[in-house]
Amino acid sequence: MDYITFLLLLPLLWAFAHVLNFSPFPQKYSAKARLPPGPRPLPIVGNLFKLRDQPHKSLADLSKIYGPIMFLKLGSIPTIIISSSKTAQQVLQKNDQPLSNRVVPDAVRALDHHQNSMVWLPASARWRNIRKTMIMHFFSLQRLDATQALRRTKVQELLDHAHQSCSRGEAVNIGRAAFTTSLNLLSTLLQK
């Protein structure tokens, strides 16, 4: 085998080894040692074929084999499945803080919006302060009472739109109509 052929086959062998989860270099830590049991995933698709057309029944069957906590790889996404209500209660009570954090998309991180938004902040003292401020200034009874007439007007506009569309024999796209109503209400509230 000449040198050029060897150089062409080396990346192919490297890719093949990684597809089969064999690494020629030892890893610093073994993440698999800390994962619950589960079926061996296929390359690329993982365990998606194990779910079949009724995933709830497939997961119940898998839990009989692997127990109430199991590891599945759904495509390239590692997933831990908890199929017992008692186990779920224990996990959620012990690990409520780590599980309450959300994955922040890169688009939100780009301009550091995740540091100032109540939606993306992890449960912390800063989040509690922002939440308290929102409740006091935006969701207080006085503020909600002050905007009740405006909300009624916007809901009436939504009902009128649905009635007009029905009288013309047109289909009503409820999702779009509700989104438009919510957006109109929000923009009007922010103007006041």
State whether 48 and 81 are in the same domain. Answer: yes
35 token code pair: 């994962």
Domain of 185 in residue numbering reads as 147-191
Instruction: Kindly report, residue by residue over 127-158, the tens digit of the pLDDT.
Output: 889 889 888 887 888 888 888 888 899 999 99
Helices (H), 47-140: 55-66, 85-94, 96-100, 106-109, 125-137
Q: What is the pLDDT of residue 27?
A: 47
Number of domains comprising the chain: 3
Cα 10 to Cα 116: distance, rounded to the nearest angstrom: 48
Q: What is the pLDDT of residue 32?
A: 52
Q: What percent of the chain has pLDDT over 70?
A: 90
CB-based contact 58:52 (threshold 8 Å): yes
pTM (predicted TM-score): 0.46
pLDDT bucket at 118, cuts 50 / 70 / 90 = confident
State whether 171 and 152 are in the same domain. Answer: yes
Cα 68 to Cα 61: distance, rounded to the nearest angstrom: 11
By CB neighbour count within 10 A (0-12 exposed, 13-18 middle, 19+ buried), where does 150 fall? middle
On whether residue 37 sits in a domain, the answer given is: yes
On whether residue 91 sits in a domain, the answer given is: no
Distance (Å) of CA 72 to CA 11, 80, 81, 157, 158: 29, 6, 7, 47, 44
State whether 22 and 50 are in the same domain. Answer: yes
144 vs 160, which has greater pLDDT? 160
State whether 6 and 59 are in the same domain. Answer: yes
